Amino acid sequence: MAYKNVEDLREHRVFYHFLEISKIPRQTFFEKEISDFILNWAKDLGLEVHQDGKWNLLIRKPATAGYEKQKPIVIQAHIDMVCEKRPEVEHDFRKDPIKLVLEGDILSTGNRTTLGADDGIGVAMAMAVLEDKTLKHPPVDVILTTGEEEDMSGALNVDKSWFNTNRLINIDHIVDTEIIAGSCGGIGVDLKFPVEYTKKIDKYKGYKIKITGLRGGHSGEDIHKGRANANVLLANLLNLLREKVNFLISDIKGGNFRLSIPREAYVTLALEEKDLDTLKDVAKHFEYEAKKIYEETAIDLKIEVSPEELAENLLTKNTVDKIIDAIILSPNGVSSMIGSLNVVESSCNLGEVYIKDNYVYLVTEIRATFEKNRDYIYNKIALIGKYLGGEIRGFSAYPSWVYKPHSNLRDIANKVYSNLFGEDIKTLAVHAGLECGCFVDKIQGDMDAISIGPNAWDLHSPDERLSVSSTEKVYKFLTKVLENLD
């Protein structure tokens, strides 16, 4: 069905719910308002609903006639979202609704902020199932979790008593011709160095180098797509510049979130005015070369040099060299592949660089299917800290969901998809963290799970987009799977 504008989308109940929850802020760790909204909505429907101390929700819908004796099914999604915006956009993710734009089949924010379809559209599908009295299905337990986009603390803290079945459908994938049957684990890593300061002297002038226009994206699902990392580009530029001129650093910052490939970075340098032309020449040449290297993924790359006020205290030459060395030495990008599946097995994303409380921080997300490879990358970062005098801390670890070759739920889904759409659906593992891995030890028996979802692009960035027709397709698929469960 074609829709003329955003409000027309309300004709479809999935989009009705998505538009409603898009009015409510859903920043990770600030999910109480959206959790309470869904809680009260479920109560108004007369459904059994539970809310825990993490604002997770369990909503139970009884089986329809003829399905009472069948084993229940869990539908699961997360209610929080990544909050990224363009630097020039004024948007408060704690207060402001998401402003939606519909262009043909594509729903977005017009490249202003993240859309929140990750995973608001999964939540909306679950809500549509819960309210629809015409559907045929066994007992349905909807589990909506919090904290997914930061540390999966919601899923990790779901009480095992919430599970009375071993089968689960996660709605957090972004390709409608695929079933996901495995995902990687991960861990965040802080590497920090104490900084030393020296007083600003009169001969130094301040100049800001600003890198913008990169595409960014999801630090797992997009890590293999050749997208430039603004932090890495900035360090490489500074490495070239220090061979030609002397400079100190007044301030440095790159990226906003370790789970997003950094789109922007800047540094404020202190150097003599006579070296300004050299700085501009190095920056101009570096931009030219970077555009050649990242021709398809960084067409809007800009490296700008402009005057900037300096702080009274500047980072010493020793600290400056440590920062540049640490970023250059830090692992970033794909580390290893699963050859048989042609899927990334392990990777890391240097998502943030910033100065706080007399320390410089490098924040990385490591992803890996196998713990040994995760530990290998972690140890590489630890060695950087060891030799450069830094400290390392791991945080927000979550487990992988290991692919299993046999699955009754997957077989049913494959058959339903083929009957509906006249083609086979692909089955694969994905290089992203899915909450299914958090449930393996909680669920009753041997977990039988799949992850599905509509076509979406550029998650974790303001370019996030969602296909309307694909959403309709996947919802039809979901409801037919429920109807055909044995």
Active-site residue flag, 119? no
Query: Under a CB-based contact definition with an 8 Å cutoff, are residues 34 and 44 in contact?
Result: no
Tell me the two tokens of residue 116.
Answer: 């929140």
Active-site residue flag, 190? no
CB atoms inside a 10 Å sphere around CB 314: 25
Residues 78, 170: Cα–Cα separation, whole Å:
9
Residues 82, 222: Cα–Cα separation, whole Å:
15
Question: DSSP per residue over 190-219, as a string?
Answer: EEEEE--EEE--TTEEEEEEEEE-----BT
Query: Under a CB-based contact definition with an 8 Å cutoff, are residues 400 and 184 in contact?
Result: yes
Return the H-helix or E-strand segment holding 329. helix 317-329
- Burial class, 273, CB count within 10 angstroms (exposed 0-12 / middle 13-18 / buried 19+): exposed
Within 8 A by CB and 6+ apart from 30, the residues are 94
Catalytic residue among 31, 80, 251, 287: 80
Catalytic residue among 119, 148, 176, 221: 148
- Burial class, 365, CB count within 10 angstroms (exposed 0-12 / middle 13-18 / buried 19+): buried
Q: Report the candidate in 37, 31, 21, 33 with the shortest Cα–Cα distance to residue 125.
A: 21
Annotated catalytic residues are: 80, 148
